[in-house]
Structure 1
Amino acid sequence: MSRTSPPQQTALDADVIVVGAGPAGSTAAFHLASTGLDVLVLEKTSFPREKVCGDGLTPRAVKSLVRMGVDTSEEAGWLHNHGLRIYGGGMRLEIPWPDLAEYGNKGLVRRRLDFDETLARQAEKAGARLQQETNVTGPVRDERTGRIVGVTAKPKGGEERTYTANLVVAADGNSSRLSVKAGRQRLENRPMGVAVRTYFDSPRHDDDWLESWLELWDGTPGQSNLLPGYGWIFGMGDGTSNVGLGLLNTTKGFANADYKGLLHSWLQGLPEEWQFTEEHQQGKVLGAALPMGFNRKPHYDDGLLLVGDAGGMVNPFNGEGIAYAMESAELAADVIAQALSRPEGALRERALHNYPRVLKDWYGGYYTLGRIFVHLIGNPNVMKIATRHGLPHPLLMKFTIKLLANLTDPRGGDAMDRLINAMCKLAPAA
């Protein structure tokens, strides 16, 4: 439920309020503050804090980090990787990240425990104000126009109060309580994934490839259905490996699946010397939802913009969320800065309503292809054919990795880039 406030405020608490200090929120705050806007970030927890994630970053995310001025050197604690190692169909294949003009050819690994704080501190350096342990409870609307003009929030140990601003950015993750209370529900016809992960002490901790296992079975391997998803092993460089799996909701029984049991079953089939066993496990198995393919809309209306997971921007092809959280946040910041340079009224609103159109231009066709893809691999027979007959062809797999990781040069590039870019342009954005 939204609260209302008088149509005229004597003073605003900020130009823009950002709800959530994850990758999307901190990136938005950084770019907004860099333009000179007064930005207030409200984060319900305090740093350092844990998040469920694979901790692996593709070259898309690396580009966003570089644009924020983050030091991604190994000396600064980042583990570099060369590309993707794939297991499936009895095959083992290593595919380096492509050499592109738009993106570099390195990936990174960093624990979310301090990754998020790194971005939040970068936003602070740019001038954003970070207020931790402040739980946002709902939007505040102008009683005359119905427009969102702030939020109600309860700081730890304090009374609930109202914070006002010209605009509010929802960056509060996959459940996005602020979006829901503003009346923006999840679109049930869009794909959703679930990821579970934990850490193990392992001799594989310094592996400089991201590793993906394509064969997850809902029973005995070879005698049951091949599931639409994959397992991962990402070395953290600190004596541990991040090990987990992700599944799509296009499989039968998704809602009742035992994800932790599936993870345990998969790990039992891995070499004993890798130490992915209970006695070497560090922490619990934790899970999180993966909202995909624009599964919450509208991305802008009535003074509220959605970025990252709050807007359902996880890549349907591979479950990657951080790169799209950061990219969408930068796109939103650019639109907001342009809008707030205009006088309040119709001109400003016209600029703000450009945000959904910008998102469609960037991701719309690609996400449409992704939604088709996840429905196809929801069929166990399709998944089996793709795994058994695709992996033996390195050129086809190179194309597939470019498509799944969304790594192409938008202008020029090779024949694969041009084909993928053409497919994305031809696919209807929705």
Structure 2
Amino acid sequence: MSATAPPPPTERGTADLEADVIIVGAGPAGSTAACHMARSGLDVLVLEKTAFPREKVCGDGLTPRAVKQLAALGVPFDGPGWIPNKGLRIIGGGARLELPWPELAEYPGHGLVRTRYDFDQILADHARAAGAKILERTTVQAPLLDPRTDRVQGVVAKDPAGERVVYRAPLVVAADGNSSRLSVALGIRKRDDRPMGVAVRTYFTSPRHDDDYLESWLELWDSSSGKDVLLPGYGWIFGVGDGTSNVGLGILNSTAAFQDVDYRRLLRRWTESMPAEWGFTEENRTGPIRGAALPMGFNRTPHYTRGLMLVGDAGGMVNPFNGEGIAYAMEAGAIAAEVAVQALSRPTVQTRERALHRYPDILSDVYGGYYTLGRYFVKMIGNPDFMKYATKYGLPQRTLMKFALKMLANLTEPSRGDAMDRVINGLSRMAPAA
């Protein structure tokens, strides 16, 4: 994909081809940004290559950070399909520990589970209701560059009929996922000094479907050979509430086995070792095993350049500590919207650019130090000896694990709170943001 000249004129009217902002991708980041921008009065056009509802690889778990963003959008989450949870259950080192979400003023005290099959559609519908125009089955092929300034001034796309169309806007937001074809076209490639993960998951019919805790396994033991073998990675079991459980595992590129692991086979081996009464068997599997990359810790930068903003997976915004992506995608979408609204209200190109360049600075201020700590954490847990020691001696210490939950889930009071909050916030401020 490369920048391209405009195609011949189409039959459409100019109003259909121009907007204040074009957002490429209607995932959590893109739809959140679109909703906030439209509510602020901007003319927003969202181009989505698929059609809703759609399948997305995800654990389907939403922490209190994500719940806060849903509330800010006005999404009702007390009806069918929204399964509340009380906290995180951690299993490892022979221990089983249930940790409720911390009680904070900044965040709600509960999480949720909602399948991605329709979660993204719910957010997109809210963006539509706010006034954003969303075109499905529209595949963006390239950024449109101004030949004089080399600045992005729109995109070239194919509509559902396969017609090549140009859409123009003074600002384009790349919410096009981990591969981010728009970013690559501008030479913004992934950074090798940032962590990357792989997640695989499937669904099983299971009596555990209504579990009110998210469950995380810090050790994956395989006993199919007759002896216990420690497998690389971590696992999860999230009850979906519809008779099924989302069961998956993640592996980080800090482990020596990252390149050689057959992830689907690994998931099968792990679930085969589970108690039979849980129902995690092949005959109870309700769908295929699917996998996806987890771009972590700002693995693609800069987050703004030449008229293009990066949000969500396109900017590598997954939390390195716990693999959470939805909350940070939505938060970045809200930040991008606020910056865009301010920038597009400025009277000159120079003042607009000055405002837009604040976007990466804000992201660095909010997440930079915390993500740096997360990268150190990824390196540590890639050492099997460290993981064995940590699970054996750390899990039995409830106070230590309460601290770990706050740290890993990034749930603290920003300006006030208990001693744990002050330590975590202090470490995040002291860590370099680079």
TM-score (norm 1): 0.96
CA contact (8 A) 1:225 1:380 kept: no
In 2, the alpha carbon distance for the partners of 1:218 and 1:42 equals: 44
RMSD of equivalent CA atoms: 1.6
Report the secondary structure of 1:282's partner residue: coil
Which stretch of structure 1 is more off in the superposition, 304-313 or 375-384?
375-384
1:264 aligns with 2:268: yes
**Cα offset for 1:253?**
2.6
1:345 aligns with 2:349: yes
Identity score, percent: 65
Query: Which residue of 245, 265, 272 maps to 1:241?
Result: 245
One-letter amino acid matched to 1:148: V
CA contact (8 A) 1:30 1:122 kept: yes
2:314 is aligned to: 310
2:92 is aligned to: 88
1:3 aligns with 2:8: no
1:294 aligns with 2:298: yes
One-letter amino acid matched to 1:332: A
Can you list the C-alpha shifts for 1:216-254, whole angstroms capped at 9, x where unaligned? 258979865553x31100001100000000110001131
**Cα offset for 1:302?**
0.1
**Cα offset for 1:160?**
1.0
**Cα offset for 1:383?**
1.0
In 2, the alpha carbon distance for the partners of 1:113 and 1:319 equals: 19
In 2, the alpha carbon distance for the partners of 1:33 and 1:156 equals: 24
**Cα offset for 1:346?**
1.2
Report the secondary structure of 2:380's partner residue: helix
Runs of 4+ in 1 over 2 A off after TM superposition: 216-227
2:18 is aligned to: 13
Query: Which residue of 395, 400, 405 maps to 2:404?
Result: 400
1:367 aligns with 2:371: yes
1:63 aligns with 2:55: no
- Structure 1 427/418 Cα, relative in aligned 2: closer, same or farther at 3 Å? same
Can you list the C-alpha shifts for 1:62-98, whole angstroms capped at 9, x where unaligned? 000000000011x243100000011101111000000
1:109 is aligned to: 113
One-letter amino acid matched to 1:91: A
Superposition map of 1:46-195 within 5 A: 46-73=51-78, 75-195=79-199
2:219 is aligned to: 215
1:22 aligns with 2:23: no
- Structure 1 222/170 Cα, relative in aligned 2: closer, same or farther at 3 Å? farther
1:331 aligns with 2:335: yes
CA contact (8 A) 2:222 2:228 kept: no
One-letter amino acid matched to 1:183: G
Can you list the C-alpha shifts for 1:172-216, whole angstroms capped at 9, x where unaligned? 111111111121100011000000000000011111110011102
Report the secondary structure of 1:92's partner residue: strand
Unpaired runs of 5+ in structure 1?
none
CA contact (8 A) 1:226 1:383 kept: no
Report the secondary structure of 2:373's partner residue: helix
One-letter amino acid matched to 1:43: E
CA contact (8 A) 1:18 1:169 kept: yes
CA contact (8 A) 1:168 1:304 kept: yes
One-letter amino acid matched to 1:38: D
- Structure 1 44/127 Cα, relative in aligned 2: closer, same or farther at 3 Å? same
In 2, the alpha carbon distance for the partners of 1:140 and 1:297 equals: 20
Query: Which residue of 26, 32, 54 maps to 2:37?
Result: 32
Tell me the matched-pair count: 425
- Structure 1 386/209 Cα, relative in aligned 2: closer, same or farther at 3 Å? same
Can you list the C-alpha shifts for 1:293-334, whole angstroms capped at 9, x where unaligned? 000011000000000000000000000000000000100110
- Structure 1 265/226 Cα, relative in aligned 2: closer, same or farther at 3 Å? closer
Can you list the C-alpha shifts for 1:253-296, whole angstroms capped at 9, x where unaligned? 31221111111111122110000000000010000000000000
Report the secondary structure of 1:204's partner residue: helix
CA contact (8 A) 1:192 1:248 kept: yes
One-letter amino acid matched to 1:310: A
One-letter amino acid matched to 1:330: A
Report the secondary structure of 1:37's partner residue: coil
CA contact (8 A) 2:222 2:273 kept: no
CA contact (8 A) 1:51 1:113 kept: yes
Can you list the C-alpha shifts for 1:370-389, whole angstroms capped at 9, x where unaligned? 00000111111111111111
**Cα offset for 1:335?**
0.5
- Structure 1 255/344 Cα, relative in aligned 2: closer, same or farther at 3 Å? farther
In 1, the alpha carbon distance for the partners of 2:145 and 2:226 equals: 55
CA contact (8 A) 2:195 2:378 kept: yes
Report the secondary structure of 1:14's partner residue: coil
Report the secondary structure of 2:210's partner residue: coil
In 1, the alpha carbon distance for the partners of 2:4 and 2:301 equals: 21
Report the secondary structure of 2:318's partner residue: coil
- Structure 1 302/265 Cα, relative in aligned 2: closer, same or farther at 3 Å? same
**Cα offset for 1:344?**
3.1
CA contact (8 A) 2:88 2:216 kept: yes
Can you list the C-alpha shifts for 1:377-403, whole angstroms capped at 9, x where unaligned? 111111111111110000000000000
CA contact (8 A) 1:193 1:247 kept: yes
Report the secondary structure of 2:359's partner residue: helix
- Structure 1 136/235 Cα, relative in aligned 2: closer, same or farther at 3 Å? same
Which stretch of structure 1 is more off in the superposition, 210-219 or 370-379?
210-219
